Structure 1
């Protein structure tokens, strides 16, 4: 089943074209890494998919177009790039906001909602902070709380923009394990990632963007070739197969031509 179907998507910001006819299909069970250099259009693609920026083209979520905001929130959860929290709410209260699309107006969370919140906090390792104000936590802890809020939404599709930013290696791997688990359970995750090592090791598929277009789409070993790393990222890299999957480590800038 297709959870995200984007066809011929164009976005302009002012006079500048940012997305140039993007087409992308994401099925249930996929963990897709959206990769590419700064300015490639990755964040704009996510925002256009959610209707947050004007666009031209077709975007279908679980086979539907023209969804209301509430209907869309039942299909797709979003972790934005900016994750600073300024509200003195408890961790549990912030995570419970992810249940809003499922609650009738003016109703209180029920047992199913409380279970979803508790499960999301456990997955992101923030259950011990449940009663603390989010503003008392570190930046990385706040990031994990907001990811937990998206997980509590229980949407079949999760879009996450640079979700590993600010996380230490333990929690980066925990997060990637969680995303991989969502895909195995039949959901789908599309994550914008700059860490090519994590993308190569954990994603089932990579979509490489450059200058507002998709230049490669497929399994990590087919996308992250030495030639593409040189031409798109302008780096020399170590690329090897390992027991845990593909290992990719950028080493240096490519030598300038004389």
Structure 2
């Protein structure tokens, strides 16, 4: 099942073209790492796919033109975790996670299903121990985990996450990658923009590399993350190997000849 389809998507910010004709399909069961240098267009792509930025081209969610889908209905299909981690409301962590159920709720209170989904999100992100604390009193890493839990509580078929591992220690970075991989195995889709090529190589089922607003590579981690491509796109030399059934990718140094 195709969860999201982009065709010839172009977006400009001011007079500057950022996306220059992006075409891709996202299927259920995929964990896609969206990679590329700073300013390549990764965040713009995610925001445009959600309808937060205007552009030209065709965007379809579950086969339907986004122009024919209300914001509430779109939220049934796609959950979004933005880069920004600021929390402005002095509410409890549990209440903040419950906000993720807003697209599914009527004027009444939480249903038994709402409560079960919220609890699952809290347990998955390991935030139970501070569920009753004020969300504005948390550390940066704790805030990140709470906001991810809110996105998981939305229980949408597709999750778009913009640099979700920022602020997390290695334990929680890997735990989050496991969660995203589990969601894909459960039949959902995940697109996460990432700068950590090691995590992307190890956990994603597919990588889409963007540079200067265009897709320059799309495929398995082994096909996308070659030493020559990393030199051309990122301007770095890299160590690439396979250990225990997965890729290991570690940028080593800048390659000044590439830039």
Contact 1:79–1:146 (8 Å) recurs in 2 = yes
Separation in structure 1 between the aligned mates of residue 257 and residue 48 of structure 2, nearest angstrom: 36
Which residue, out of 67, 70, 74, partners 1:68?
A: 70
User: Does residue 78 of the first structure (1) align with residue 75 of the second (2)?
Assistant: no
> Which deviates the most, 27-36 or 240-249?
240-249
Alignment correspondent of 1:214:
215
User: Does residue 92 of the first structure (1) align with residue 77 of the second (2)?
Assistant: no
Cα deviation, residue 175, structure 1: 0.2
Over aligned residues, Cα RMSD in angstroms? 0.8
Structure 2 regions of 5+ residues with no counterpart? none
Alignment correspondent of 2:230:
229
Contact 1:7–1:23 (8 Å) recurs in 2 = yes
Contact 1:201–1:244 (8 Å) recurs in 2 = no
Cα deviation, residue 64, structure 1: 1.4
Q: TM-score, normalised by structure 2?
A: 0.97
Cα deviation, residue 212, structure 1: 0.2
SS state of the match for residue 140, structure 1?
Answer: helix
Alignment correspondent of 1:195:
196
Cα deviation, residue 129, structure 1: 1.2
Alignment correspondent of 2:155:
154
List structure 1 runs of 4+ shifted beyond 4 angstroms.
Answer: none
Alignment correspondent of 2:137:
136
Cα deviation, residue 256, structure 1: 3.2
Could you give the per-residue CA deviations for residues 157-212 of structure 1, whole angstroms, max 9, x where no partner exists? 00000000000000000000000000000000000000000000000000000000
Separation in structure 2 between the aligned mates of residue 121 and residue 82 of structure 1, nearest angstrom: 20
Contact 1:4–1:25 (8 Å) recurs in 2 = yes
Alignment correspondent of 2:35:
35
SS state of the match for residue 53, structure 2?
Answer: coil
Structure 1 regions of 5+ residues with no counterpart? none
SS state of the match for residue 45, structure 1?
Answer: helix
Contact 1:9–1:19 (8 Å) recurs in 2 = yes
Cα deviation, residue 127, structure 1: 1.4
Separation in structure 1 between the aligned mates of residue 145 and residue 96 of structure 2, nearest angstrom: 11
Q: TM-score, normalised by structure 1?
A: 0.98
> Which deviates the most, 2-11 or 235-244?
235-244
User: Does residue 204 of the first structure (1) align with residue 205 of the second (2)?
Assistant: yes
Separation in structure 2 between the aligned mates of residue 124 and residue 36 of structure 1, nearest angstrom: 27
Separation in structure 1 between the aligned mates of residue 243 and residue 60 of structure 2, nearest angstrom: 37
Cα deviation, residue 119, structure 1: 0.3
SS state of the match for residue 163, structure 1?
Answer: coil
Cα deviation, residue 244, structure 1: 4.0
Separation in structure 1 between the aligned mates of residue 118 and residue 72 of structure 2, nearest angstrom: 19
Cα deviation, residue 78, structure 1: 0.2
Alignment correspondent of 1:145:
146
Separation in structure 2 between the aligned mates of residue 244 and residue 125 of structure 1, nearest angstrom: 27
Could you give the per-residue CA deviations for residues 29-54 of structure 1, whole angstroms, max 9, x where no partner exists? 00000000000000000000000011
Cα deviation, residue 6, structure 1: 0.4
- The change in CA–CA distance for 1:156 and 1:250 in structure 2 (over 3 A counts) is same
Cα deviation, residue 87, structure 1: 1.2
Alignment correspondent of 2:252:
251
Could you give the per-residue CA deviations for residues 33-86 of structure 1, whole angstroms, max 9, x where no partner exists? 000000000000000000001110111111111210000000000000011112
SS state of the match for residue 81, structure 1?
Answer: coil
